[in-house]
Structure 1
Amino acid sequence: MLQTSLIPTGHADLVTHAAYDFYGEKLATCSADHKIKIFSKLPDGTWELETEWKAHDAPILQLSFAHPIHGVLLASCSHDRTVRIWEEQLAPAGSGAPPKWVERGILSGAKGSVRSVEFAPPNPAYGLRVASISTDSHLRVHTSLDPDLNDWSLAHDVHVPSLTSEDVPETQGATPAETATGGWALSWCKEKWWGSVIAVFAGNSPVARIIQLDDTPTALLNLRPPGVSPLTAIAWAPSCGRSYHLIATGARDGTVRIWRAEPPSDDDDGAKSWSAETVAEFPKGARVGMVEWNATGTTLTTSDDEGVIRIYKPTYAKNWKLLGKMTAEEPPAEE
């Protein structure tokens, strides 16, 4: 595939995550240098640094933009055990000054590094919500009904087992060093029809858990693949009118799987029974770092520890095939 450009971020340390806003016109990056940088897209397709600031007191691990119905909001999480909420404030017209990002909340309470954060899809019944999971293996959902975002409350605090008796023993499939690190990630269901549903995994478990957060948190389904490799990434696809859901997972052994999750139908008499099956599995490679869907849930992008980005798309026969791959390295100069 064609690599169009490189963005020199100017971070002083490892870039740990990058996130686009809803419209793809802003790009936020975070780093182990404790800073967030915001880039804006120019008419010619290039990116220009708009603003930057020191956002945390430790390396920042992930970013998430809120849906624009809530304004221009960004959440960040860090090794400093906090989630922070930032709001863009535009400079006075004609001043030529870049926008400022004002801190609107510090969400604390985690007893470990906060490894993943994501704003919930918009749902007027619940207000503005943000979910996070930390290395204490607790999924926390905070909500704010205050238009000024000055009042945040903890709506849910759910322990997510990293290993259970149904999972593999901790000594299988991972070295002691790998066991100590583990993986923690989450992804919201994008369809509000089913309420507040989220996919999450913690620690060294190879199992992703689907949890409904309405009222009392309830376990709906476990995505339990064969094998013992701990998960490293998860992404819930936009449904776009499908009667089923697609969820992608990545594992430490390099395996990427796509799951088809079926919610209960109208004929189930209200029974909360979900089911799931694997519809695609791609060959093992380097440790998967990221899985991400496009806006319609029809294309899956993955990255791994070797710096290879792969793009998968279904055929007319509904078989998922590799569409292309690329790396972030510059091509060698021609002789």
Structure 2
Amino acid sequence: MFVAKSIAADHKDLIHDVSYDFHGRRMATCSSDQSVKVWDKGDDGEWHCTASWKTHSGSVWRVTWAHPEFGQVLASCSFDRTAAVWEEIVGESNDKQRGQSHWIKRTTLVDSRTSVTDVKFAPKHMGLMLTTCSADGVVRIYEAPDVMNLSQWSLQHEISCKLSCSCISWNPSSSRAHPPMIAVGSDDSNITYSGKVQIYEYNENTRKYAKAETLMTVTDPVHDITFAPNLGRSFHVLAIATKDVRIFKLIPMRRESANSSGPTKFEVQVMAQFDSHNSQVWRVSWNITSTLLASSGDDGCVRLWKANYMDNWKCTGILRGDGSPVNGSGHAAALSAVGVPVAAQMVVGAASAGRKKAQLMPG
């Protein structure tokens, strides 16, 4: 049976992000109280706070985990114009904290002149790379050339997006047919600029990122964006949280000639659009097989969306902020039926409702 749990996170201000690690056994939360907390799932299934520390001198907007191949590594970003990388280490034998783990700051990235609004690690196959985006409209890509020394990060790329950036997502595809690709969302409220989502692709010849596509139909501020896991598909699927939930399919067009050096052209299709939240949508998150999408909005609900065999997307479950299902047990049954280890980095309505509890959707 599906169970929703409420955790007293004890943050002193709004929680802005919740992030699970690769295995779903660890979780990080961040808040306007300038702190990050790390939670571990015990054998009893309960979540226990194992670390809490002040990370920035402003609100912490996002926190994210690196792949465990690179160790226990977190990145955070903040209104204080910086991003930071944190690593968990176990105390040495001559250390007062012998055998105990603690988190230390490995580096602070200070290139942005404005609030750093999102931070994401690149897919594992690209090595240890970190991307940030800022309110100044710049996406920055950093690389750790030596994964054993996380204090050294070099700025590899700066992409000017012309619009204030709010969120980023890497395309996770490891196919050689798909160059590295980043989707960038903007929460710029200037309505004269249409196309609040831009897709950038790495060009092997120029060794730079170039704009491949702008989703012109997205004209409202974008709060979250995420590529679906790619399990061998030739096309890409992108979910967007704006005043509604949208799912786009990006189909690479065949190149005119083999030596064409420009960015890939895409056929863009709208797979689904839902305004069921009747409010701003703040987070969207896929499960690992990309068969289920979770969204959370200012209505205080997490909604689950699933496609049938005809590729028609339907709402398959609704949870209120307190974890109770809407419309009785029917939705609870549906939730358990679709197997919800949704890797849902869901903070239910946190951005405006002022909630200080993390609402979890454990597997």
**SS where residue 56 of structure 1 aligns?**
coil
Equivalent in the alignment of 2:79: 79
Work out which of the residue numbers 217, 234, 248 in structure 2 matches 1:259. 248
Indicate conservation of the 8 Å contact 1:183/1:230, yes or no.
no
> Residues 160 and 201 of structure 1 are in contact (CA less than 8 Å); yes or no, is this contact kept in structure 2?
no
Verify the 8 A CA contact 1:51 1:98 in the aligned structure 2: no
Deviation at 1:27, TM superposition (A): 0.6
RMSD between aligned alpha carbons? 2.2
Residue 232 (structure 1) shift: 1.9
Q: Is 1:297 aligned to 2:286, yes or no?
A: no
TM-score of the superposition, structure 1-length normalised? 0.85
Residues 13-53 of structure 1 show CA distances to partners (whole Å, capped at 9, x for unaligned) of 11111100000010100111111111100122210111111
- Given that residues 138 and 161 in structure 2 are in contact (C-alpha distance below 8 angstroms), is that contact kept between their aligned partners in structure 1? yes
Question: SS of the residue aligned with 2:69?
Answer: helix
Match of 2:303?
310
- Whole-Å separation in 2 of the counterparts to 1:247 and 1:35: 30
Question: Is this contact kept in 1: 2:195–2:214, CA < 8 A?
Answer: no
The offset of 1:270, in angstroms, is 5.5
Given candidates 209, 222, 228, the residue that maps to 2:214 is 222
Question: Percent identity among equivalent residues?
Answer: 32
Counterpart for residue 107 of structure 1 = 109
Aligned 1:4-19 pairs, distance under 5 A: 4-19=4-19
Deviation at 1:289, TM superposition (A): 0.3
Q: Cα–Cα, structure 1 residues 270 and 222, in superposed 2: closer, same or farther, change >3 Å?
A: farther
Q: Counterparts of 1:330 and 1:263 in 2: how far apart (Å)?
A: 40
Query: Structure 2 vs 1, CA of residues 183 and 209 (structure 1 numbering), >3 Å: closer, same or farther?
Result: closer
1:224-303 correspondence runs (5 A): 224-225=216-217, 228-251=219-242, 254-265=243-254, 269=258, 271=260, 272-283=264-275, 285-303=278-296
Give structure 1 regions of 4+ aligned residues with deviation exceeding 3 angstroms.
95-98, 264-271
The one of 165, 169, 172 aligned to 1:187: 169
What are the ranges of 5 or more consecutive residues in structure 1 without an aligned counterpart? 163-181
Of residues 315, 320, 326 in structure 1, which corresponds to 2:319? 326
Structure 2 match to 1:41: 41
Cα shift readout 1:110-169 (whole Å, capped 9, x = no counterpart) = 111101110000125xx311111111011111111122112111111111122xxxxxxx
Q: Which runs of 5+ in 2 are unaligned?
A: 326-363
Q: What amino acid maps onto 1:198 in structure 2?
A: I
Could you say what secondary structure the match of 2:289 adopts? Answer: coil
Counterpart for residue 347 of structure 2 = none
Tell me the secondary structure at the aligned position of residue 6 of structure 1: strand
Kindly indicate whether the alpha-carbon contact (under 8 Å) linking 1:288 and 1:304 is maintained by their aligned counterparts in 2. yes
8 Å Cα contact 2:137/2:165 also seen in 1 = no
In 2, distance between residues paired with 1:96 and 1:42?
Answer: 21
Tell me the TM-score normalized by structure 2: 0.79
CA distance in 2, matches of 1:58, 1:84: 13
Cα distance per residue 1:160-206 (max 9 Å; x no partner): 122xxxxxxxxxxxxxxxxxxx7611100001332321000222354
On the 8 A contact 2:90/2:98 being kept in 1, the answer is no
1:279 Cα deviation after fit? 0.9
Q: How does 1:69-218 map to 2 (within 5 A)?
A: 69-91=69-91, 98-124=100-126, 127-146=127-146, 147-162=148-163, 184-193=166-175, 194-202=178-186, 203-204=188-189, 206-214=195-203, 215-218=207-210
Displacement after TM superposition at 1:306 (Å):
2.2
Q: Is the 8 A contact 2:168 2:183 kept in 1?
A: yes
